[in-house]
């Protein structure tokens, strides 16, 4: 889980507001900004509804997300990762720098199908880290530069589009390129964590085949969709900024 999609959609809105009038609503706009925005909102709705539905279904294993994560880490012989509770809704993530597995309260304290799926997915990231999974290492390596790019981006868009500073638009293009590479590397990391989660939950008997397993799939597949949507949105934003620069 991450708030990556929200960030990208926010910058899409900025791009929309700041787009120069005249060609602001042409066919490129629809393709680069409009369609990705709709896909992103749809993905966001799907992940919330999948979580909402399956967080009400109690898993027969009757352990909370926190207990599930600790059992998985123990079985994987990972002893240096701490499982902690966070208040941030759907803010579940694994922090490799602190070796902390953050689970939102709804996941941490709940024995639901959704909670176990998410707890197992985040544990999957901890396992990737412990096993030195290459895409995770690559992702960690570009986190600092991605943070800088994403913090600068809103100001760059505002300066570039609202005040018509072409140099800032070029800088914005570079920022989106960095974000795009980051999101591209994120895809295998996320898919692999969910793949591991599904196998582990089944093998450890935490989730039963049938309805429970289907619920886990729904939640994790919806989450995967948000990463694909974030990638598409960032690609659209990049192409849109490039087309704006070309027309100046």
Write out the residues near Zn ion by the rule CB under 5 A.
190, 193
C-beta of residue 121 within 8 angstroms of C-beta of residue 107: no
**What is the smallest separation between the CB atom of 2 and Zn ion, expressed in angstroms?**
7
Nearer to Zn ion, 207 or 241 (CB): 207
Report which of 175, 159, 176 is spatially closest to residue 167, judged by C-alpha positions.
Answer: 159
Nearer to Zn ion, 92 or 212 (CB): 92
C-beta of residue 60 within 8 angstroms of C-beta of residue 208: yes
**What is the smallest separation between the CB atom of 171 and Zn ion, expressed in angstroms?**
30
**What is the smallest separation between the CB atom of 193 and Zn ion, expressed in angstroms?**
5
What three-state secondary structure class fits 64?
coil
- Is 82 labeled as catalytic in the residue annotation? no
Neighbours of 6 (CB within 10 A): 13
Place of tokens 């694909």: 228
Neighbours of 177 (CB within 10 A): 14
Phi, psi angles (nearest 5°) of residue 203 = -65, -35
Q: What is the dihedral of CA 144, 85, 222, 197, to 10 degrees?
A: 90
Nearer to Zn ion, 67 or 190 (CB): 190
C-beta of residue 230 within 8 angstroms of C-beta of residue 5: yes
**What is the smallest separation between the CB atom of 216 and Zn ion, expressed in angstroms?**
14
Q: What is the DSSP string of 126-192?
A: HHHHHTT-HHHHHHHHHHHHHHHHHHHHHHHHIIIIIS--HHHHHHHHHHHHHHHHHHHHHHHHHHH
Nearer to Zn ion, 201 or 238 (CB): 201
Q: Which of 67, 71, 122, 212 is catalytic?
A: 122
Cα distances from 117 to residues 14, 62, 129, 156, in angstroms, run 34, 13, 19, 38
**What is the smallest separation between the CB atom of 122 and Zn ion, expressed in angstroms?**
6
Nearer to Zn ion, 73 or 193 (CB): 193
Question: Among all residues, which ones are annotated catalytic?
Answer: 122
């Amino acid at each position: 889980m991450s708030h990556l999609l929200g960030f990208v959609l926010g910058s899409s809105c900025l791009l929309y507001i700041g787009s120069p009038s005249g060609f602001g609503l042409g066919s490129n706009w629809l393709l680069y900004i409009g369609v990705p925005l709709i896909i992103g909102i749809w993905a966001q709705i799907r992940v919330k509804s999948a979580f909402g539905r399956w967080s009400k279904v109690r898993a027969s294993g009757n352990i909370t997300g926190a207990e599930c994560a600790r059992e998985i880490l123990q079985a994987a012989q990972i002893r240096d990762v701490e499982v902690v509770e966070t208040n941030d809704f759907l803010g579940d993530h694994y922090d490799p720098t602190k070796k902390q597995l953050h689970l939102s309260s709804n996941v941490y304290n709940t024995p639901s199908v959704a909670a176990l799926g998410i707890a197992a997915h985040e544990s999957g990231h901890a396992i990737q880290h412990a096993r030195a999974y290459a895409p995770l290492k690559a992702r960690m390596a570009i986190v600092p530069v991605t943070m800088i790019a994403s913090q600068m981006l809103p100001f760059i868009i505002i300066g570039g589009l609202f005040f018509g500073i072409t140099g800032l638009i070029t800088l914005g293009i570079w920022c989106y390129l960095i974000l795009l590479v980051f999101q591209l590397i994120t895809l295998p990391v996320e898919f692999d964590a969910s793949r591991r989660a599904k196998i582990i939950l089944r093998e450890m008997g935490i989730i039963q085949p049938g309805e429970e397993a289907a619920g886990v799939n729904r939640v994790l597949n919806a989450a995967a969709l948000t990463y694909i949507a974030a990638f598409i949105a960032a690609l659209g934003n990049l192409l849109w900024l490039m087309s704006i620069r070309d027309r100046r």
